[in-house]
């Protein structure tokens, strides 16, 4: 979930002239926060550009589907989660968490959200991925804050609880994305993209591994209690840049992708004790040189994976077959299910938030809801 190459925007805009012209008009002289007028504007709708790789994609994406852009004027948006009629998402360069509603548009929920220092940071000083626990509490990958934390209520000024911040006495790199298991365990990825240089050689990087971790019983951690640091488990240490993370609907498997140097999705069997086994390469998209790489992902109730990837959102079968790509005119970062039937997919893509209606419901991130 990172954004390292800024020059690609001009090239992409040339390929998507109608949308790019609208964006240019709206963004002229704008800051990272949309104006009130832009926030209240009706969604911009265009026919969905769907790359069909397998006929099975037609069961998922309805004929005549439309892509709507519901908010714009940002720099790099990430980590979306839908909760009680609102879409929460991170705007990482502005070090903020935003809240969007259909009636009011986008507003700042929390700023600063990640790095709290006064000196200059890097390109990504804010928070990153977000999710909900079984009690409906918002949990956040702190990214530049280098921790995992939880809001005890949806009051940005209210108390937060730190769920993880170190491993074996060393600071985490920059937690990127996270997902709860139904038993209350929390799994997260920890690449270096929230560090100042985003490199393994960063002088502030203390851990050698860019790991995948498990926080046992994170759901049960009492509000305000310190992390149980000796309980944090490093589960995967051999992925160069672990990024997006999601469970299969039956929680038999954990999916983790890696952004670079290879663009890959991995599958791990979840053992009864919560650890992982039987690592399997699910899909390799390294040969696709279009803009984008594996990033945030979710699954639907049938187990299909929806992941940021080259050119847009890749839809992948549980067996690892690439079914198709929802082509987006900007580099994509992450997705979230929304609506009472969870058939609306919200997409974070650089300067904008998009959405599309699909045929299959998304798997609820809070089990039983």
In a domain, 369, yes or no: no
Find out whether 77 and 70 touch, Cβ atoms under 8 Å.
Answer: no
Measure the CA–CA gap between 143 and 121, rounded to whole angstroms. 12
Which of these, 162, 134, 140, 87, lies nearest to 367 by C-alpha position? 134
Domain span at residue 206? 8-357
In a domain, 137, yes or no: yes
In a domain, 364, yes or no: no
Question: Which token pair is 235?
Answer: 């589960």
Predicted pLDDT at 368: 52
Predicted pLDDT at 8: 41
In a domain, 87, yes or no: yes
In a domain, 45, yes or no: yes
Measure the CA–CA gap between 176 and 141, rounded to whole angstroms. 5
Measure the CA–CA gap between 1 and 318, rounded to whole angstroms. 22
pTM of the predicted protein model: 0.90
Q: What CATH number does residue 256 fall under?
A: 2.120.10.30
In a domain, 113, yes or no: yes
Predicted pLDDT at 41: 64
Question: Which token pair is 326?
Answer: 């929802």
In a domain, 70, yes or no: yes
In a domain, 365, yes or no: no
Q: Indicate the number of domains in the chain.
A: 1
Q: Which residues of the chain have pLDDT under 50?
A: 4-39
């Amino acid at each position: 979930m990172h954004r390292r190459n800024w020059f690609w925007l001009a090239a992409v805009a040339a390929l998507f002239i109608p949308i790019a012209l609208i964006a240019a008009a709206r963004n002229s002289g704008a800051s990272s926060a949309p104006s009130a007028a832009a926030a209240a504007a009706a969604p911009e709708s265009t026919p969905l550009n769907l790359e069909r790789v397998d006929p099975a994609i037609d069961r998922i994406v309805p004929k005549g589907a439309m892509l709507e852009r519901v908010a714009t004027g940002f720099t790099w948006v990430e980590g979306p989660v839908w909760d009680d009629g609102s879409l929460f998402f991170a705007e990482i360069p502005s070090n903020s968490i935003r809240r969007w509603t259909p009636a009011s548009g986008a507003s700042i929920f929390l700023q600063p959200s990640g790095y709290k220092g006064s000196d200059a940071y890097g390109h990504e000083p804010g928070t990153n991925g977000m999710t909900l626990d079984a009690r409906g509490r918002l949990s956040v990958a702190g990214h530049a804050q280098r921790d995992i934390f939880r809001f005890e209520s949806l009051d940005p000024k209210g108390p937060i609880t730190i769920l993880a911040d170190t491993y074996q006495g060393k600071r985490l790199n920059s937690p990127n994305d996270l997902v709860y298991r139904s038993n209350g365990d929390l799994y997260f990825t920890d690449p270096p993209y929230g560090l100042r240089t985003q490199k393994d050689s960063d002088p502030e990087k203390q851990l050698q591994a860019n790991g995948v971790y498990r926080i046992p019983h994170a759901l049960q951690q009492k509000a305000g209690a310190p992390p149980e640091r000796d309980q944090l488990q490093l589960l995967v240490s051999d992925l160069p840049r672990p990024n997006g993370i999601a469970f299969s609907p039956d929680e038999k498997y954990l999916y983790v992708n890696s952004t670079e140097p290879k663009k890959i999705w991995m599958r791990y069997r979840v053992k009864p004790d919560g650890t992982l086994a039987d690592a399997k390469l699910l899909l390799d998209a390294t040969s696709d040189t279009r803009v984008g790489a594996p990033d945030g992902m979710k699954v639907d109730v049938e187990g299909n994976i929806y992941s940021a990837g080259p050119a847009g959102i890749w839809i992948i079968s549980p067996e690892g077959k690439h079914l198709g790509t929802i082509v987006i005119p900007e580099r994509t970062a992450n997705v979230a299910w929304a609506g009472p039937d969870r058939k609306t997919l919200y997409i974070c893509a650089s300067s904008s938030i998009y959405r599309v209606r699909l045929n299959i419901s998304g798997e609820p991130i809070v089990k039983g809801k």
